[in-house]
Every structure is written in structure tokens, then in C-alpha cells.
Amino acid sequence: MTDSPTQPTSADPSQNPRILIVGSAGQLGRELEQIFADVGPIVAVDRESVDLADPDQTRDLVRRTAPDVILNSAAYTAVDRAESEMPLAHAINALGPRILAEEAAERNALLVHYSTDYVFDGSKQDPWTEHDTPAPLSVYGASKLAGEQAIQNSRARHLIFRTSWVYGPHGNNFLLTMLRLARERDRLSIVDDQIGAPTTSIALARATREIVTGVWAGRFGPVQDWSGLYHMSCAGSVSWFGFAQAIFARASGQLGVKAPELVPIGAKDYPTAAARPRNSVLSNAKLHARFGVQLPSWQSALDEVMARLQGRPGSE
């Protein structure tokens, strides 16, 4: 746990907000901790400090740290394993957020939470909006949807950001898996009939900061004007195969990685425990209209991550 100096809880925008980050060792949590460093005093915890599946520990954490803003980037994210660990996935992804929301409501704190494109079944041709009806194909998607609903049904001031295909310079993600596999194999078969928007932990953390600091400063008006659910992903869309091509187009130049031969395959030829949506591209129009925030294209966000990795290939 990183524990910074404390100051009294205050909803006074002239004071810096006290921030609690849950899930600080995850891809997004690491970026949030860095990007919010100068916003206010931070308490950042991961699962060795709190088990989000344990309501008593979660309540105790919030009461002890007395935050003005809770950033919850912790989640059960093992999409395939969730199929055989449904109770645990729901405890972490639905019960945990419910308790955070109850505690946030109790002290009038803002709860920021992240959800997933996998709440949708992928059947739509166009990008999914916040008005579209979720119909998760997987236990993971259902558990995240239940987390959204628990927060929406609470009295907490909240921002739920649904995002997609998250990756960054650290952690478990498609980019780092591709770079590792390229060192082991000459040929990779990659799914080409699932479309989404790869989104970096860096872009997500920056956009979150812009919105949270604006909310705190009163720039977006009263709570009923901004509290709610928003889609937040990098602009554009691509298949996993196209994403892999873009990764190796950059990695072979910048990181000196030998690009493997890439073979496009259908999802039916790559069976996984959990089904995934065919099209999970999110429309970010509501986010832009409400907060004036737009994430970069997935290509330029990828450039930024590659630049961060440069100089330390294979360090993850």
C-alpha cells in the first residue's frame, strides 16, 4: 500500500481530493497511480492489502482511508477462467463494486469504475452506444454487467467507463503476448473476425484524470449532469489480426523483433472457454459530447506504448 499524507475529507473544490485507487498493480491501476500523482493525496492498494471479494475488508478500507474519489481498476479479468470460476468472478466484479458504491454513497465520494465491451453480444454492425441492450456471451461479461448495475442502483455519484481491449507497457495483454510469442515461433495464427478498439491504459488514465479533475472543479455542473455510464475507448477499430500486423510493423523497426508470419483465422478455429463478441467497437460520442474528451486513435496510442517499450524489449 502506498500511503500518502492525509487531509480531512472535503467536497470543497479548492482542496485537493483524497484519492483511493483499488487495483493499483494492474495495467490501468499503475497508470492511474502515476497520472493522478499530483491531483491529491493517494492511497493505492492491490489485492495483498484488500480482497475486493470480501465486503468487510472493502468497507474497512474505504472507512479507514476516507477518500473523496475512489478509482476502482481492480477486477477479475481472466475471461476464459471465469467460465469455471463464476462465483469468484461475480464476487470481485459485482459484489466488490456494490460495496464500494455503498461506501461511496455513505460519504458522498465519487466512485469511478471500469467495465467492458464484453457486456455486448457483438451482433450489431455499428459501434455500440450506451443505449444498446447488453447481452453478455461470457461469465466475465455478465459479472461486469452486474457490477455496473450494482453501482447504478446505488446512491453513489459515479462514473462508469466501459472500455475495450486494454493493453499497455505492463501486465498481461495482447501486445506483450505477441512480442513474447514472436521470440518463440515463426508463425502465428490470429483471429481476424472479431473487431474492437485496442485501448491503452495510458489513454484511459489520462482521460479519467481530465474528467475527474473537471468534475471536482465543478466544470461539468451538478451531479445529475454527469453521473452515469460512458463508453471510453481509443478511436477507430481493427481485428486482432490487424492489431497484430500493426504491432509487428512497429516492433520489427523499433524493438528489433523478428516479425513472424501472421496467418488470419476465424474465431471458430481458435476455440476458447469463453465466447467473445464479433463486433465490440464502442461509440464514444456520449463521452465527447458530455466532457469534450476524445481518446487518440488506436494507432497513435500504440505508437506511444511502443515508444515506452523501446529500450527494454523483453523486459515484461
Ligand X SMILES: NC(=O)c1ccc[n+]([C@@H]2O[C@H](COP(=O)([O-])OP(=O)(O)OC[C@H]3O[C@@H](n4cnc5c(N)ncnc54)[C@H](OP(=O)(O)O)[C@@H]3O)[C@@H](O)[C@H]2O)c1
Catalytically annotated residues:
140
- Interface with ligand X by CB under 6 A: which range of 27-35, 177-185, 281-289, 307-315? 27-35
Q: If binding is defined by CB under 6 A, does position 231 make contact with ligand X? A: no
In the three-class reduction of DSSP (H, G, I as helix; E, B as strand; rest coil), residue 285 is classed as helix
- Interface with ligand X by CB under 6 A: which range of 12-20, 75-83, 104-112, 290-298? 75-83
Going from the C-alpha of 315 to that of each of 27, 30, 103, 146, 255, the distances in angstroms are: 15, 16, 39, 36, 12
> Looking at beta carbons only, is 124 or 219 nearer to ligand X?
124
Query: Do the strands 2-3 and 42-45 form a parallel or antiparallel pair, or are they unpaired?
Result: antiparallel
Q: If binding is defined by CB under 6 A, does position 144 make contact with ligand X? A: yes
Do the Cβ atoms of 264 and 241 come closer than 8 Å?
A: yes
Q: If binding is defined by CB under 6 A, does position 143 make contact with ligand X? A: no
Which residue among 65, 143, 154, 163 contacts ligand X (CB under 6 A)? Answer: 163
290/31 Cα distance (integer angstroms): 24
Which residue among 46, 68, 102, 121 contacts ligand X (CB under 6 A)? Answer: 46
Residues binding ligand X: number (CB under 6 A): 27
Q: Interhelix angle for 96-106 vs 139-152, to 10°?
A: 10
Q: If binding is defined by CB under 6 A, does position 219 make contact with ligand X? A: no
Q: If binding is defined by CB under 6 A, does position 205 make contact with ligand X? A: no
55/42 Cα distance (integer angstroms): 22
- Interface with ligand X by CB under 6 A: which range of 111-119, 175-183, 208-216, 307-315? 111-119
Q: If binding is defined by CB under 6 A, does position 296 make contact with ligand X? A: no
Q: If binding is defined by CB under 6 A, does position 200 make contact with ligand X? A: no
Q: If binding is defined by CB under 6 A, does position 103 make contact with ligand X? A: no
Cα distance between the two ends of the chain: 22
Assigned C-alpha cell, 30: 499503475
Which DSSP state fits 121?
A: -
> Looking at beta carbons only, is 47 or 107 nearer to ligand X?
47
Q: How far is CA 133 from the centre of its chain?
A: 20
- Residue with C-alpha cell 466484479? 93
Which residue among 165, 226, 230, 240 contacts ligand X (CB under 6 A)? Answer: 165
Q: If binding is defined by CB under 6 A, does position 154 make contact with ligand X? A: no
Going from the C-alpha of 186 to that of each of 25, 50, 197, 224, 314, the distances in angstroms are: 32, 42, 26, 54, 17
Q: Cβ of 22: how many Cβ atoms within 10 Å?
A: 30
- Interface with ligand X by CB under 6 A: which range of 11-19, 114-122, 262-270, 303-311? 114-122
Q: If binding is defined by CB under 6 A, does position 233 make contact with ligand X? A: no
Q: If binding is defined by CB under 6 A, does position 111 make contact with ligand X? A: no
Q: Interhelix angle for 240-254 vs 298-309, to 10°?
A: 40
Assigned C-alpha cell, 138: 461470457
Q: If binding is defined by CB under 6 A, does position 74 make contact with ligand X? A: yes
Can you give the binding site for ligand X, defined by CB under 6 A? 23, 25-29, 46-47, 50-53, 73-77, 92, 114, 116-117, 144, 163-166, 171
